[in-house]
Structure 1
Amino acid sequence: MTNQIENTQLSFGQKDAPVKVEVFLNLTCPYCATFFGIAEDVLKDYLDNEQVEFIVKHYDKPREMLLNGTLINLFLDYENPSRVKEILKELFETQGQWDQLNNQEIKNVLAEKYQLKEEPQNTEISLNVTAEAIRRNVKMVPTVFINNKEYQYPTELSADELKAEIEAALTSKVV
């Protein structure tokens, strides 16, 4: 049914779960922060029950307001996805405190608060996610795909809508 999912460095849940929720996001985007918070709440039980795989793709979209998110993405340790998820959650929750900092101030926060260093392989990961976004015609963040069905901002998904879409996807999987 689904094509092979690309760029699964930040994948949570079972790889063979019947429902795939992919999100292209950027840490500096306030709409992404809202979606991430909703996803954290709504997806928890589905992840625990192995019904959903949640794949986060940090999109380093070349837009001035998103550049701090791009800088942070260079420091995320993709070898440790569960820690990255916790850092993403905290950074989204505190977005207003760091999103206007300059490059050096952000690097200091990442080093001091999270003990992160620049990860050389992240440039290639970023380029791969960007190439995928271009192929899939992702123009805005957040863009969410639920089993390849696209929800692109300004179509925002509320918690109820996200839950309804996952339930519908699960129901369509039952034969």
Structure 2
Amino acid sequence: MMTNEVRHLVLGSEEAATTVESYINMGCPFCSTYIEVIDEIFAPHIESGEVKHIIKHVDRTNGALLKGAVAGTYLNIHEPEKTYEDMKHLLETRPEWTASFEEALMKLETLGLVEQEGHGARSKEILDEAAERGVRVVPTVFIDGDKFDFPVKGTNEEIAEAFRGKIESS
């Protein structure tokens, strides 16, 4: 169970009628596609106060996902709009920085990001919560508490269609 001390990257109003929880890792190519697609779909609903989007970075230890886990320690959840822009940039440029830790750290430095305190506790709680909720792959999405199955490996249009249908019917 999440404690009150652990905060996440939250976009949108606490009073939103629909809550989307996205479990992602910045080293994941499918997460890059997911965020690229849903960004434009969710944006007007977040701005209007209809949707709250909670992004939970899941630390994984294999390959590029480990570099994504390192990058996740640099996200400042206290500045959600800037952090979301940094996260999108990291996802868009993922092939440039996931080959080595040196490249990952250089990329984070060029963005002016610094390692954040408290990430260890957040990471552990997210991992525990993900295990409890059956999150085995990233991206995994829950909408209003229910796991939402979408074509994770689908085309941009297939992913967009799934989310447009779901968000616009909420």
What is aligned with 1:159?
A: 160
Q: Letter of the 1:139 partner, please give it.
A: R
- Structure 2 counterpart SS, 1:23: strand
Maintained 8 Å contact 2:30/2:152: no
How many Å separate the matches in 2 of 1:128 and 1:69? 17
Tell me the CA shift for residue 114 of structure 1: 1.4
Show CA shifts across 1:94-124 (max 9, x none).
1111121x2233212212x111122121111
Tell me the CA shift for residue 79 of structure 1: 1.7
Tell me the CA shift for residue 161 of structure 1: 1.1
What is aligned with 1:51?
A: 50
1:14 maps to 2:4: no
Tell me the CA shift for residue 71 of structure 1: 0.6
How many Å separate the matches in 2 of 1:145 and 1:8? 17
1:138 maps to 2:139: no
Say if 1:42 and 1:56 are closer, same or farther in 2 by CA, change over 3 A.
Answer: same
The count of aligned residue pairs is 165
State percent identity of aligned pairs: 27
Tell me the CA shift for residue 153 of structure 1: 7.0
Question: What is the RMSD of the two structures over their aligned residues, measured on CA atoms?
Answer: 2.2
How many Å separate the matches in 1 of 2:130 and 2:119? 16
What is aligned with 2:95?
A: 96
Maintained 8 Å contact 2:12/2:49: yes
For normalisation by structure 1, the TM-score amounts to 0.85
For normalisation by structure 2, the TM-score amounts to 0.88
What is aligned with 1:172?
A: none
Structure 1: gaps (5+ residues):
170-175
Say if 1:155 and 1:33 are closer, same or farther in 2 by CA, change over 3 A.
Answer: closer
- Structure 1 counterpart SS, 2:116: coil
What is aligned with 2:75?
A: 76
Say if 1:146 and 1:120 are closer, same or farther in 2 by CA, change over 3 A.
Answer: same
What is aligned with 1:107?
A: 105
Following TM superposition, the consecutive aligned residue runs of length 4 or more in structure 1 with deviations greater than 2 angstroms are 4-8, 61-65, 151-157
Structure 2: gaps (5+ residues):
none
Maintained 8 Å contact 1:32/1:141: yes
